Structure 1
């Protein structure tokens, strides 16, 4: 084992590339590569770390368009001796996807299915294709690429090949290595090769070739002869052996498989430019059986028995500690309530090609399950999805438990023989007690690979010393039980140093020779796997990390207090913000495909800003400002991100400092301060509308930084407040306040009028704030926090009587409701009036849900409603009440999984962002609306309404208007 106890936490670099060589390399790449070449400080900051504990600033990043670009990149790097690192989704957990190297990111352009043959069950793909994008093609033919890690919606095939990824269904069809047919690769010294399964005769023939090809195949032959017996004898025969190079693939029956021997090599040997994948049949009929045991240790004792269930395709486990973390964070509470009795649970999934067959599988499992567990069968897709949410929340729930130190990776991935899993997790849990660590168990129980994240302290020298001692003992336990240091996440820098414990000196020599055969110059991802950097160096949050908050923030970030630096560290790099199929985040990444426009990219930019090394440590940081420019402030990340990074708040805080004492862009005043211009326009609405529609309208908007490509807003001829002043409102009933937001009051009073009638019909005595006040929502997008705080102080003063009386405050505009529930508390976290207001603020559907008995029941045939939920609503309360109310009045409701509409408050009205706004809408929302032209579209957010009307050419109703129609029939 290569152990270096010199200076833990120090930075190591084997690139050998100085500043002059870097500049020369950049110029060469720009001349010879067709894709983008990025050596700027912002890009280097974003790519400096992955999902692991490690950080190394790259030389630069290349986004190749084709194999020719890859070849040109490697050739240019070779001229100056620069290392190469191939990268997919950047979700490596052992430091394998960060290095001082030229990073080749395949995910932007080389992400296509090149060929798919359902008959032969083969798919030829580029390395940057996302696994779920491939599956969208193959599963139409009931075929799939079986390995499916938790990151399946955003991990790439190239990354899976690099890591030898596995996932939930490896019980069914094995690891990535088991599903590779062939690959096309390039070596650092310029050789292109197609590699795959070979007959012995062909293998011998290739070994007799001249030049580099013959050299490689002769070397492979020598390795087989010299080390074959050691491989057969010393490689652990377990389902999840991921550590070590796959030399066993050179010993396959019928001849070596060179492609599979390169799988799992983590970009240390070759660069993969194409892969042909073997597909398997994907059982369309599923059942999920949940087994409850006394604890996770008892469940793990039966791991080998579960594997014997006929028809089982997945065997996962979770413990009660994970469930406890989820309860603390109020995650998936209904799913947790559905768990059968116990404190350790097994999720056994069964698959078949008929309903009868899958039903027989699950019934047999219930009868024969060892240990007399409690059981729950999930038969519907909705039930199964809800229960899988418990398992899939492992990382998010454990990474940052409320009120506790963060749990991090570092020893989260070992695998042992399934029959010894119970013993393994018991012994490691006892080790936690010895070292004062905590953790939860979750993962691939049936394969003997349970994940965990523990409360390691890597920020102090003493903490690192303790961590190293723990790793030493934990790895001893793993090896003693016949296990693998890595069962899925790879070794990179985090575990490669320990290979000598798992493999004898002969195999360690074999690995070194294998590396030298493919990469004699040691320029492929140096310091990872072979001659690795010590596991306690190059740490992202090590002792050398400066704590440099720059200045106290306006926002309070919960457990992180007033530290934006610590809040940015919530991002652990898992990369869920890169998914494009579902959820809200991150709309700008979906349009640009640029890492710096993802939530993760922006969080990393903040992390690097506070370090002040690759990008300046100042609020005037241009790299951060550029990364935030396309942030729509949709708050999708607040709920979609597993660690709840709230980039909208980060952006608002940053901009407040960035522009302190400086003039802001024009649109900050015209759009951020729309409250004031709307109030002025309401004095003479006809004149204002006439001017905006005249020939002067477009130049005026252009001068203000507002796009002229959209229709001008139309101010109401009578504001909602004016209408209310003329009404004889009910003097009886339960008090309820109607909040008069800027958008409803000045631009869309129809929704407010409908809401007033509904609230009275439901027994409410409607009141309004005595003063014309505002929550200041648009101000946050431009960092105008001083003005926003003043607005909130005035608001709390105006609402104080209602707050003191505990009167519900109905807020129609979702973004304003989010302000009361979110920004208000963040800016006034210890103010009892603010806390009370945040609790009293409520949406109309939420208020009506309390009064469900008074809701009219429609006798008309049910009509279809497409509900577009505002992003801020999804992040602060959700849409459960909306669906409940719309269904109660007789509608069939489909909640659109369309993500952000793209308008996002003032974002889409900014001339600078208008094109991006349209592209976001075109990504998912507009196609979903076009697919159901006869359905009623419902959206309570003014932004969503505007976007749908202007780009979708559809009429939009608010919930208030539909309920008012229902009440009108029955009142």
Structure 2
């Protein structure tokens, strides 16, 4: 296979480990991974697998919760390159796509024509169309346009034995012609017709008549009344029958305007009982959630602003209306409110009508991320909530009664659960505290699942209403369909895959529920000494931290927020936050990935992490890969030699003060072309990167001169207090003009600037190379020095604050400091006193002079993760500037990352995602604003434009 396909073939330990798990309870190590560059490569690779009789598995986003995207097989990841939108037909309202197309990518392309692809599971930002077809995915808007099945027009499929053809609805004369033509395709159609004729009565009587029947194979689509639709019969077969090579899907009109009506009920049962009353007004989505998710978010301090605005109640329903105008959508919502207010039975819900699009997104995020964010237990005596009985569906009119019966079953087994889901179609998600780590717990889980399946069937429901059967539900499908129909499904698979090579052991002829558990009774708990204190509400220790990744893959999103820049640049699973988490998990278990702290596969994956801290805030479970990376490297380099770049870039805080004594000499060596080439080679940095230029005078020198000349008091407001200005290495030695501007603005706001008694360094670059012991020493010096400053503080109206200019450096005091000194009160005092420059001014109600400029703002990653962008936004509004805050993710340089020769292409690719094009398109008189030294260097490198710090802009407004 390598000889035929080259770099597409990855049978190494790193890839096998990264693809061994999905978002389910299961883990199966693949034989190998293939990431084909095209559909032609996919076909060639399948032919080689067929020659060797090797099982195969096609995988999209890898976010399945029932175990269908892991197997002992050759895994084909089609998301990286087999992802072209081949056509969008506005007239026919269809799209032709390759299987690796991301759901949101298709939706964005369709929105140009006022259309959309309706199915939108919570993973819509990273799930693929091929995966959605395999799973028959749904999402909240299935009430508007159905499941994936109803939105598939035709499929181009390929069987394991190499037959490739289009399938779809088939009229009788066409069916007979296909059968008469013979060959493999003719035989398949002949066998399918025979299967249909023999089982038609059973299919009509045993298949539940509900919209969200996702379990089993769609044999009903072969019935004459459904047009012998072979494409839709293959939807939901989870890659067990044929590969999807291309798909023609239906597009529907996208409502121009959407509003959300949030209803508050006393409990989730009352919310479900009222479904018929608000369904009658034709909403396009109806989502319910109970108090447990809200309590879990509150206990972790998450989504506090959104939760505070929820209407009174202990369960909530989000009812979304779509229309051509705001007035029409609001009218539908108001009719619903009036109808519910006139109820004569059942409680009258509290209401909140949300028309602002940004606020609607925030409310939907509670629903989309709440379950993942609370998937680790806070109580050490209670097992983590698990998927596994995740998405049953019943008739919506019976939902309230079903939920009461289900909750009674949960309580009888001593479990706890949260209840939420797509109430409009009667689909319920539940994260339940199953104990899978003991044999007794697993046995109890099996008994519960059998009873739960029997309960659903009594209510005429489906074991799966969204996430498919995979392994989690497959063993109990006979309870739903009976043995006769199960044999029909096994026969359906044999028609397509007689050798059982397509994702074997899933849906039919399936593994048992408790086979292949990722964290079952054999799971190893490993206790390592770490330099950071890994502590959280969910538990302590490095292993517990790594367990935060539950596999939902938000780090694989291609747009919005910050994480994961290396994945966006490479589309490589092992370079995503999830992929690295999986490798660290496997490192701890020592099965596929060995070597522990000396593991080369883990080291290689972490090398491409930009330590942007995006995952710390963007990941629903707050995986903190920057910290994991620094911890790993600190141990790895105990036995390995650090690269040259570690001395030059990592220890810049040590040697920069020495070089600054002779800046002309330093600049001669780093800025003169002939010397610079040699300097970069010695330092281990990329040749096409410009090294930063030293200033002719350091900040402290110029600060002392300005104070002696009394040039800092011009236009000064009455003195309100003083602040300690943290002048980082970059402002001290390379850009003192930024710190001087900050001093002048602070004085204009009424604050005197003082500096620490001696030159200090936070050690920010040290973490990129695992210098944690050195970093700790530097922080100890800071704590000792600043403790004296805080001790001398005279209590007044404004407590003494440490105000900084470089987000990366200030993040050390909010993040790493507390992990290295978790029990030191000095660290707590310092962390609580730290402010970014803009945030401090906003907190002090500073109003800058009016300055009506056009400003393009790019926020530093650490600022977005730990501080937010409120400071810039408020100050720019107060000064009357017209500004755009880019959703630009990471700039790509990320401290020393983009200086490395092996990383510069990734760094540039990251910059080209959003930042570089936006800056290039900005007019010449637009001010490009960013607070990060790395960000300004990257903008200069990628666009040849100079960016300004907020302090410089405010100083300009002040006339300083």
Global fold match (TM > 0.5)? yes
Query: What residue in structure 2 maps to residue 951 of structure 1?
Result: 942
- Are 1:577 and 2:577 counterparts? no
Q: What is the aligned counterpart of 1:253 among 218, 225, 236?
A: 225
Query: What residue in structure 2 maps to residue 363 of structure 1?
Result: 334
Q: What is the aligned counterpart of 1:818 among 787, 811, 832?
A: 811
Q: CA deviation at 1:559?
A: 4.5
User: Any conservation in 2 of the 1:317–1:344 contact (CA below 8 Å)?
Assistant: yes
User: Any conservation in 2 of the 1:114–1:126 contact (CA below 8 Å)?
Assistant: yes
Q: What does 1:621-770 correspond to in 2, within 5 Å? A: 621-694=599-672, 695-726=674-705, 727=707, 733-770=720-757
Q: What is the aligned counterpart of 1:930 among 917, 920, 924?
A: 920
SS at match of 1:440: strand
Q: CA deviation at 1:361?
A: 2.0
Task: Pick closer, same or farther for the CA change 1:661–1:224 going to 2, 3 Å.
Answer: closer
SS at match of 1:702: helix
Query: What residue in structure 2 maps to residue 901 of structure 1?
Result: 891
Separation of aligned partners in 2, 1:453 and 1:961: 50
Query: What residue in structure 1 maps to residue 877 of structure 2?
Result: 887
Separation of aligned partners in 2, 1:946 and 1:402: 42
Deviation sequence 1:713-755 (CA, Å, 0-9, x none): 1111221122233315789542311112111111111111111
Q: CA deviation at 1:665?
A: 0.7
Task: Pick closer, same or farther for the CA change 1:691–1:72 going to 2, 3 Å.
Answer: closer
Q: CA deviation at 1:147?
A: 0.6
Q: What is the aligned counterpart of 1:537 among 515, 528, 531?
A: 515
SS at match of 1:540: coil
Query: What residue in structure 2 maps to residue 839 of structure 1?
Result: 832
> Larger deviation: 413-422 or 958-967?
958-967
**Structure 2 spans left out of the alignment, 5+ residues:** 794-798
Q: CA deviation at 1:560?
A: 6.5
- Are 1:792 and 2:779 counterparts? yes
TM-score (norm 1): 0.94
Q: CA deviation at 1:786?
A: 0.8
Q: What does 1:391-790 correspond to in 2, within 5 Å? A: 391-400=367-376, 402=378, 405-559=383-537, 563-694=541-672, 695-726=674-705, 727=707, 733-790=720-777
Q: CA deviation at 1:966?
A: 3.1
Task: Pick closer, same or farther for the CA change 1:644–1:254 going to 2, 3 Å.
Answer: closer
User: Any conservation in 2 of the 1:303–1:447 contact (CA below 8 Å)?
Assistant: no
SS at match of 1:865: strand
User: Any conservation in 2 of the 1:199–1:254 contact (CA below 8 Å)?
Assistant: no
SS at match of 2:472: coil
- Are 1:117 and 2:89 counterparts? yes
Q: CA deviation at 1:842?
A: 1.1
User: Any conservation in 2 of the 1:397–1:642 contact (CA below 8 Å)?
Assistant: yes
Deviation sequence 1:584-633 (CA, Å, 0-9, x none): 11111111111111111100011111111112142111100111111111
SS at match of 1:153: coil
Task: Pick closer, same or farther for the CA change 1:254–1:169 going to 2, 3 Å.
Answer: closer
> Larger deviation: 40-49 or 392-401?
392-401
SS at match of 2:166: strand
Task: Pick closer, same or farther for the CA change 1:188–1:493 going to 2, 3 Å.
Answer: same
User: Any conservation in 2 of the 1:289–1:378 contact (CA below 8 Å)?
Assistant: yes
Query: What residue in structure 2 maps to residue 375 of structure 1?
Result: 351
Q: What is the aligned counterpart of 1:962 among 944, 953, 959?
A: 953
Aligned residues: 937
Q: CA deviation at 1:37?
A: 0.8
Query: What residue in structure 1 maps to residue 289 of structure 2?
Result: 318
Task: Name segments (4+ residues, structure 1) moved above 6 Å.
Answer: none
Q: CA deviation at 1:319?
A: 1.8
Separation of aligned partners in 2, 1:46 and 1:623: 10
Separation of aligned partners in 1, 2:115 and 2:176: 35
Query: What residue in structure 2 maps to residue 172 of structure 1?
Result: 144
Task: Pick closer, same or farther for the CA change 1:365–1:520 going to 2, 3 Å.
Answer: same
SS at match of 2:434: coil
- Are 1:141 and 2:74 counterparts? no
Q: CA deviation at 1:457?
A: 1.8
Separation of aligned partners in 2, 1:454 and 1:767: 55
Separation of aligned partners in 1, 2:436 and 2:416: 15
SS at match of 2:16: helix
Deviation sequence 1:255-283 (CA, Å, 0-9, x none): 20000000000011111111111111111
Task: Pick closer, same or farther for the CA change 1:35–1:200 going to 2, 3 Å.
Answer: farther
Separation of aligned partners in 1, 2:790 and 2:534: 23
> Larger deviation: 662-671 or 727-736?
727-736
Task: Pick closer, same or farther for the CA change 1:940–1:401 going to 2, 3 Å.
Answer: farther
Task: Pick closer, same or farther for the CA change 1:470–1:822 going to 2, 3 Å.
Answer: same
- Are 1:913 and 2:891 counterparts? no
Separation of aligned partners in 1, 2:719 and 2:920: 45
RMSD: 1.8
User: Any conservation in 1 of the 2:453–2:463 contact (CA below 8 Å)?
Assistant: yes
User: Any conservation in 2 of the 1:145–1:278 contact (CA below 8 Å)?
Assistant: yes
Q: CA deviation at 1:503?
A: 0.9
**Structure 1 spans left out of the alignment, 5+ residues:** 1-28
Deviation sequence 1:166-198 (CA, Å, 0-9, x none): 011100000000011111111112221211100
Separation of aligned partners in 2, 1:560 and 1:379: 36
User: Any conservation in 1 of the 2:531–2:772 contact (CA below 8 Å)?
Assistant: no
Q: What does 1:136-285 correspond to in 2, within 5 Å? A: 136-253=108-225, 255-285=227-257
